[in-house]
Every structure is written in structure tokens, then in C-alpha cells.
Amino acid sequence: MALRYLALGDSYTIGEAVDQAGRWPEQLATALQEATLVVGAPQIIATTGWTTDELDAGIDAVGPQGPFDLVSLLIGVNDQYRGRSVEEYRPGFTALLERAIAFAGKRPQRVLVLSIPDWGVTPFARDNGRDPARIASELDAYNAAAQAICAEHAVAFVDITAVSRARGAEPAMLAADGLHPSAAMYTEWTRLAFPVARTLLDDEATR
């Protein structure tokens, strides 16, 4: 029986402006399959523009049926974009993480969180007069809060922010809108998430 994968998020998870196969959850599932893990196509609950509370409502609307063998969560960029403080972000993220754990059969060791990438390096941010230093500072605070919450819940946290800053302004790493990642950037995220996801699933695959 194929392992079940649920991916929760926003535009970064649904893959705004890329083909379905280019989305990072799809790439991750493919990479796991190539590593001889029998993983089914991911169920994705994500929409461009969603904040933490909107993802929470979106989950309610879909009503996914667990347990899942792997659950990923990447959320928060739109909270920051809309000017919400980290104090406002923290409880919403915590609630979503706890829902993710529940969907994983109450197994935190089956949950994977990705950090929020830094959109401040993109042409979109530059062309719209955004302050990249402020964006970076606010996202660092968001990610520090998320990482601490993950540690409290014994959930794996993968840093993709560094690669987004290092390569996020490269034309090949951007979709046509100059804001969202291309499939090539999602491949970089998959490269970082894959070893963690494989470790989380290895013992499950033998049961």
C-alpha cells in the first residue's frame, strides 16, 4: 500500500505559475519514489495568497481524512506580507502544526515543516519599492518562531530560506511573474527536504 502524503500551504505549495510536476511536494514524492519508497501522489491543500487562518479554513472545507504517513507544512509569507506581527503569526502557526500532527496520526515524527523563503530578493519586491532588509528581518522573526514551535513539538524543520536568498533573484529560479519560484527553485527545496523526509519515512516503509 502506498504511503499517504498531505501537503499544506499557500502559493509555494500549490506551485503558483509552474506545472503540477514542478511543485515541490510533487517533486518530493517523485524523489521518494525513486528512492524505492512507495509514496502516492500528494494531496495538496493550498491556495495562492492564503494566510494561516485562511489555510485553517481551507483545511476545514476540504476535510482531509487521515492518518497520513507524511504531512508537510509551509505557511506564513502572506501573514508577513499583510503586515501581521510575529505575535499574531505564532498562535496561528501553532494551531496548524498541531492539526498537521493530528493528520499524521498524532505522530510528530511524520511531520515536516519548511521555513518561509525570502521574497524580498525578488524583482517583484524591487520593482514595488519594498525594503528587502525589513522583509528579511520580519521573515527571520517568523522563521525563528516557527522553528522554536517545531522544536517544542518534536517536528522536523527544514531551512529553505538560505537558498532562497542566495539564488532567489536568478532568472532561472523565478517564475514569469518575478515573484514566485520556478520549478528549478522548487528542486532546490526538494533537495533539502528529501533526506529529512526519507528519514522520517524509512521505518514506516518497512511496516
Q: Which three cell numbers stand for residue 88?
A: 499574531
Domain boundaries defined on the chain: 5-205
Please tell me the predicted confidence (pLDDT) of residue 10: 98
For residues 57, 117, 32 and 22, what is the CA-based torsion angle, rounded to 10 degrees? 80
- Give helix then strand counts, H and E, for the chain: 9, 5
Q: With 50 as the cut, is the pLDDT of residue 183 above it?
A: yes
Please tell me the predicted confidence (pLDDT) of residue 203: 63
Q: With 70 as the cut, is the pLDDT of residue 182 above it?
A: yes
Order of strands across the sheet that contains 156-158 = 43-46, 5-9, 70-74, 111-114, 156-158
pTM of the predicted model as reported, rounded to 2 decimal places? 0.96
Check if the beta carbon of residue 191 is closer than 8 Å to that of residue 24.
no
| CA dist., res. 46 & res. 40, Å (int) | 18
Q: Which three cell numbers stand for residue 94?
A: 501553532
The CATH number that domain 5-205 falls under is 3.40.50.1110
Please tell me the predicted confidence (pLDDT) of residue 207: 41
Other CB atoms within 10 A of residue 154 CB: 11
Q: With 50 as the cut, is the pLDDT of residue 204 above it?
A: no
